C-alpha cells in the first residue's frame, strides 16, 4: 500500500486534516502514522490529527473536528461573519453547561458556557478563510452573545460589532429581537440600537 498516496486522498477529502480514526478505516495504523510523523512525512497538529508537511493548518477546522459539543461564538464568530477583520488572538467557543471540552481545546480557546436548551439557538455553518465548514452562531445570536459578555469581549469589540450590525443590509431585527428575549438581553439591546438605528 502506498501510504502517502492514501493519506493525500484522505487529507483532500477532509479539509486537509488526516484524523487517526479515518486513517485506520483506510487500513493505516496508528503505528504507521507515528512512523511517518517521525520521518517528517506528516505533521502532527493536535492529538489524533495530522496534515501533510507542505499544507497550512486550518486552525478553526482542526478545533471544530475535535468536539461536536462546541460552536464558534463571540469574537471568532464576528471574524467568520466578516464583522471583525482581526483574526482573534484566542479563538472563542461556546459549550453546553456541564460539558467539559478537552484540555487541548481549553488551552487553545476561550470557552463560554450556556444552558443546553440555548446551546443550538442560532447555530449555522460558516466557512473558514481556508474554505472549510465549521459550526458557528449566526449573526443575530453572535450580537446577543457579545451584548451578554460585553465586559469580557471589551468595549471596542462590542461597540464595533453593534455598529457593523446596524449598518448591515442583511440584518434581521425580528430574529435579533427573538434571540434577545430568549437570552435575556432585550432591554440592553434596545438601548444601544435606539442610538445606532
Q: Which domains does the chain have, with CATH numbers?
A: 3-57 (1.10.10), 63-196 (no CATH)
Residue 87 pLDDT exceeds 80: no
On whether the CB atoms of residues 71 and 119 are closer than 8 A, the answer is yes
140/119 Cα distance (integer angstroms): 14
> What's the confidence (pLDDT) of residue 69?
94
Q: Give the residue-averaged pLDDT of 127-143.
A: 96
For the cut 90, the answer to whether the pLDDT of residue 134 exceeds it is: yes
- Mean pLDDT confidence for 118-130: 97
| pLDDT at res. 197 | 63
| Grid cell for residue 22 | 479515518
Query: Helix-strand-coil percent breakdown of the chain, rounded to 5?
Result: 50, 15, 35
Amino acid at each position: 500500500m502506498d501510504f502517502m498516496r492514501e493519506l493525500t486522498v484522505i487529507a483532500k477529502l477532509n479539509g486537509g486534516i488526516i484524523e487517526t480514526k479515518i486513517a485506520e478505516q483506510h487500513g493505516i495504523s496508528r503505528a504507521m502514522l507515528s512512523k511517518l510523523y517521525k520521518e517528517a512525512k506528516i505533521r502532527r497538529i493536535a492529538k489524533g490529527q495530522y496534515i501533510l508537511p507542505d499544507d497550512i493548518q486550518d486552525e478553526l477546522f482542526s478545533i471544530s473536528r475535535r468536539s461536536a459539543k462546541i460552536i464558534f461564538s463571540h469574537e471568532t464568530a464576528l471574524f467568520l461573519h466578516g464583522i471583525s477583520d482581526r483574526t482573534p488572538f484566542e479563538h472563542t467557543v461556546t459549550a453546553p453547561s456541564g460539558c467539559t471540552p478537552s484540555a487541548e481545546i481549553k488551552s487553545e480557546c476561550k470557552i463560554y458556557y450556556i444552558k443546553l436548551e440555548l446551546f443550538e439557538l442560532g447555530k449555522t455553518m460558516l466557512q473558514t478563510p481556508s474554505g472549510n465548514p465549521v459550526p458557528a452562531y449566526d449573526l443575530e445570536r453572535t450580537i446577543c452573545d457579545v451584548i451578554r459578555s460585553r465586559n469580557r469581549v471589551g468595549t471596542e469589540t462590542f461597540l464595533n460589532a453593534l455598529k457593523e450590525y446596524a449598518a448591515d443590509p442583511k440584518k434581521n431585527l425580528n430574529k435579533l429581537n427573538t434571540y434577545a428575549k430568549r437570552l435575556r438581553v432585550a432591554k440592553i439591546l434596545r438601548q444601544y440600537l435606539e442610538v445606532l438605528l
